[in-house]
Amino acid sequence: MPDISLYYFDAVGFGEAVRLAFHIGGVPFEDVRFSRDQWVNEFKAKAPSGKCPWLEFKDGGFITESKAILVYAAGRSGLVPFDLLELAVCEQAYNVALDAYSVMRCLIHDRGDREENLKDLRTRLLAADKVLGSRQSKGEAWVNGKSMTYADLGIFGFFKNAVDRLPDTNVQQYTHLYQVYEAVLHHPRVKDYYASRTQ
């Protein structure tokens, strides 16, 4: 039995980047997935902050908040830069993409005015794309211009929600974000992960 358990919906959401980070580093973890009904009836009461995802360790300790979890999983897999400027570039990319994801979530869950949300999403995706496009090393898909980091996995997770659930967003127009999505999707360990999944 692995020492770490990840609790999240059987969905992409905030959990997929964490699953991929562990998988890429070959870090064993228990992937506890649940439905909406199971969440309401069983898991919500167990969640340290009443929200998912969270990680539980064998000694009973936990980590909650999706980015904290991602940074931990990615750090175990060598995907968190030590250089402060590089780290700031990753944080910047993750956070502008997260801004867009917050609107995607409203659209996916049918909250608020759809037209307003679509407009807002477009504004935020354009802003995120511009920020990513300004990275120093041109011609390289990764956020830091060098190699895959947790920020790429985070962006992949956010974007996968749009690709899978908001086809009218036409994600390919956001070329820099889409480049990151494609680069992660074609990473050998990620291909291997999706090939090994039965659902």
Residues that bind ligand GSH (CB under 6 A): 13-14, 44, 51-52, 65-66
Amino acid in the structure at residue 145: G
84 HSE (CA, 13 A, CB side): 0
Minimum CB separation of residue 138 from ligand GSH in Å reads: 31
Minimum CB separation of residue 197 from ligand GSH in Å reads: 20
Residue 16 or 179 having the CB closest to ligand GSH: 16
Residue 10 or 65 having the CB closest to ligand GSH: 65
Contacts of 164 (CB under 8 A, 6+ apart): 12
Minimum CB separation of residue 133 from ligand GSH in Å reads: 26
Residue 141 or 153 having the CB closest to ligand GSH: 153
If one counts every other C-beta atom within 10 angstroms of the C-beta of residue 182, the result is 14
Residue 16 or 129 having the CB closest to ligand GSH: 16
Residue 6 or 183 having the CB closest to ligand GSH: 6
Q: Which ranges of the chain would DSSP assign to H, the alpha helix? A: 16-25, 36-38, 66-76, 84-108, 114-133, 150-165, 175-185, 188-196
Minimum CB separation of residue 15 from ligand GSH in Å reads: 8
Minimum CB separation of residue 151 from ligand GSH in Å reads: 15
The answer to whether the beta carbons of residues 121 and 107 sit under 8 Å apart is yes
Burial of 107 (0-12, 13-18, 19+ CB in 10 A): buried
Contacts of 81 (CB under 8 A, 6+ apart): 87, 90, 144, 149
